[in-house]
Amino acid sequence: MNKSLSNFIFVAFICLVFTKCANRGTPQGGPKDVTPPVIEKSTPENFTTNFKGNEIRIVFDEYIKIKDIQKQLIISPPMKYQPDITPLGNASEEIRIKINDTLPPNTTYAFNFGNSITDNNEGNPFPYFRYVFSTGDYIDSLTVNGQIIDAFKREPETFVTVALYEVDSTYTDSIIYKEVPKYVTNTLDSLTTFSIENIKAGKYLLMALKDGNGDNKFQQKTDQIAFHKEFIDVPSDSTFYTLKLFNEELDFKPVKPRLISGEKIAFGYEGDYKNMDIKITSETPDDFTYRITKDEKTDTLYYWYKPRLKVDSLLFKVTHPTIEKDYKARISEQKRDSLIIKAEPTGKINDQEAFNIFANTPLTAFDASKMKILDKDSTNVEFTTVYDSIKNIYSFDFKRTEDNSYKVQVLPEAFIDFFDNKNDTLNYALSTKKESDIGNLRVIVNNATYPIIVQLTNNNEEVKYEKISTKKEALDFLKIDPGKYFLRVIFDSNGNGRYDTGNFLKKIQPERVSYLPSKPDDEIRAGWDDVWIIDLLD
């Protein structure tokens, strides 16, 4: 055997040994990496002054990714033209920021990255990284801190923008609709507190937005707003501010009417319809008549009229204390809506709710002699009736006893609608629970300013039971369905029996709302009587 052959066999043997060794088992990994990325250098350095360039490089000790940059990154003050930031979607050892704006002199900028920076492998975040620089020869260092609460709900929204507008010779209240703020920060997804940093001394409007469009400007239709009742001075003695986030009631705005079926014209609107008036200005015959009803779910009033008119269009005037507008509605021959009658509730009914019958077309007459309510012993039960013409609902109230069943029988032609349609026979079944299947609750409110509205809500903030009180008294909620409830107290400062929200331009804060701190045992149990006490603080 020659020497070269011997060397080949030896090499092949060694390779075979190592191949077998490599296949004997799977190597075991070490402990999971939980260390966030570390910055090795920044160019220019963080907190640099006299910044002149248009690019920033931040280098890390490992590959990183940027996620949710649109939500997480807050630049304060906002720039007119958003900078280009890389990487987006890819891994890199550095972040590059290319500034596309002309920066004013003597201004401190802060890039707040939130939790957007993570390592590439395990997703460990580099939390709340801030890159700060100044175009002047010093870094502004003042701070405003606070918290966001919801004016009405138990918990505020996440990703709330908190901002400062500088109050100078150019300031007007309309600035929040037109201009971006001087300084801005965000509560992100897990915090209700905020900190606006690197502020210069001055007078400011402090406000917050749940910004539906992400443009840092207030839009009444899409945004929630909060504002401090007075301008703040920075620095000042106050170091912590509480802002109540609320939805403004929309300013009234009518929408062009449209015919949606025979002799039925829809008038849409924004805001409060209760002071809205619709008048026809076209010539009409002597037997012309009309009715107005509200859609059950949408912001729409329906204008019903008869007789059918042989015209191409009708003219209307919509008036409201804040606006007056003329409209033309195109008319065509269409089929009228057929009468459909519904009822609620069906099945179980409690003492606090009425039995309601409503229709899709305006009801114009009800013959009470053609309706009966019978209990389980076939005994006739007397009832009273109230009709709401705008909602088009007949509400029936009658005395109920525990563990009883009731049959509601409606004979033909008991109801007549606007177009002289009549109902067929209607039958509904209702029942009440046993005393042992329901609970009772007494609520005691201490330190209240009256009048107040006390509500029991479910987990979805829906009001299930409500009482209004004008003096100190125990409030008894009787025959309550078992379940988890939250106690809400509204300070009804204007005594109108409902919660009133705030308004920025009118400088009105929303009415005060308090909740009983939730506990695991805040549950109404069947067959139990309970007492909840809420102590209201100033």
Q: Return the higher-pLDDT residue of 122 and 198.
A: 198
* Residues 427-441: tens digit of each pLDDT: 999 999 999 999 999
Q: Is the pLDDT of residue 17 over 50?
A: no
Query: What does the alpha-carbon distance between residue 503 and residue 106 come to, in Å, rounded to a whole number?
Result: 35
Q: What single-letter amino acid sits at 12?
A: A
Architecture of the structural domain at 436-535: Sandwich (2.60)
Query: What does the alpha-carbon distance between residue 329 and residue 301 come to, in Å, rounded to a whole number?
Result: 14
Pair type for strands 341-344 and 323-330: unpaired
What class has domain 142-245?
mainly beta
What confidence score (pLDDT) does residue 5 get? 44
For domain 39-134, the question of CATH label 2.60.40.1220 is answered with: yes
CATH match for 341-432 among 3.30.950.10, 1.10.10.10, 2.60.40.3710, 3.40.50.150: 2.60.40.3710
Query: What does the alpha-carbon distance between residue 53 and residue 41 come to, in Å, rounded to a whole number?
Result: 17
Token couple for 251: 């300013």
What confidence score (pLDDT) does residue 538 get? 59
The pLDDT of 228-239, averaged and rounded, is: 90
Confidence of residue 33 (pLDDT cuts 50, 70, 90): low
Q: What single-letter amino acid sits at 495?
A: G
The pLDDT of 309-338, averaged and rounded, is: 97
* Residues 173-201: tens digit of each pLDDT: 999 999 989 999 988 776 789 999 999 99
What confidence score (pLDDT) does residue 31 get? 58
Architecture of the structural domain at 253-330: Sandwich (2.60)
The pLDDT of 356-367, averaged and rounded, is: 98
DSSP state, residue 48: B
What average pLDDT is seen over the chain?
91
Q: Is the pLDDT of residue 139 over 90?
A: yes
The residue among 534, 535, 449 whose CA lies nearest residue 485 is 534
Pair type for strands 452-457 and 117-119: unpaired
The pLDDT of 113-136, averaged and rounded, is: 89
Q: Are 83 and 99 in contact (CB under 8 A)?
A: yes
Q: Is the pLDDT of residue 3 over 90?
A: no
What confidence score (pLDDT) does residue 69 get? 85
The residue among 186, 197, 116 whose CA lies nearest residue 158 is 186
What confidence score (pLDDT) does residue 144 get? 95
Query: What does the alpha-carbon distance between residue 439 and residue 479 come to, in Å, rounded to a whole number?
Result: 5
Would you list the domain boundaries of the chain?
A: 39-134, 142-245, 253-330, 341-432, 436-535
Q: Is the pLDDT of residue 25 over 50?
A: no
Pair type for strands 426-431 and 347-348: parallel
The pLDDT of 484-498, averaged and rounded, is: 95
What confidence score (pLDDT) does residue 4 get? 47
